[in-house]
Amino acid sequence: MKKSVLVLNQNYEPLNICNARRAIVLVFGGKAEILETHDAMIATSQDVFPYPSVIRLICLIRAPRARVKLSRREVFLRDSYTCQYCGRRTGDLTLDHVIPRSRGGPHTWENLTSACRACNHRKGGKSVAEARMVLKRQPFEPSPGRYYAIERRLEQSISEGWYKFLPGIESSERTDISIPFSAD
């Protein structure tokens, strides 16, 4: 029971990815129906059941919209792996607080930006104006993508049967992110 199961809302909107045990509990509890199955079967002491791959909930669930989690990786993705001071694209970035923490700057989306090591060292504990630097773009909180809530749970390889329920995700795409490096 190690395979993942895609959970769809009543309107076929992807909600979550769960394990097979949880999916079977939902199906046998009358809360979901099986739309796609894996090639395997699940055997109990009394019966044999199809191994679910995609299930759809019977009742519509109003799930709150996810917010993008504040992390180094997400800040670098928002800034396209580009230093927001000099514009250099690199995979060797640091986080910089626009208003330094030592001066009461918060650890929020609006105060964090990507900076190369040289620019971060040059700025130090000063404000942007004191360091005589200019931000290429003001930091902001990004809005989550269409499948943000389930993207974090996607495995390296997803079942072929899932692609028809996830429009916009091609079967040749991988869920990992490649980091661009400069040729310096």
Average pLDDT over residues 33-39: 90
- pLDDT of 152: 64
The residue with greater pLDDT, 119 or 2, is 119
Q: How many CB atoms lie within 10 A of CB 19?
A: 12
Give the closest residue to 111 by CA, choosing from 132, 102, 87, 131: 102
Q: Is the pLDDT of residue 136 over 50?
A: yes
DSSP secondary structure string, 162-176?
A: GGGGSTT--TT--SS
Rounded to whole angstroms, the Cα distance separating 51 from 3 reads 9
> Could you tell me whether strands 14-19 and 48-57 are parallel, antiparallel, or unpaired per DSSP bridges?
unpaired
The residue with greater pLDDT, 59 or 162, is 59
Tell if the pTM clears 0.85, that is, is over it: no
Angle at 30 between CA 25 and CA 36, to 5 degrees: 70
- Domains defined along the chain, listed by start: 4-64+145-165 (no CATH), 67-143 (1.10.30)
- pLDDT of 183: 45
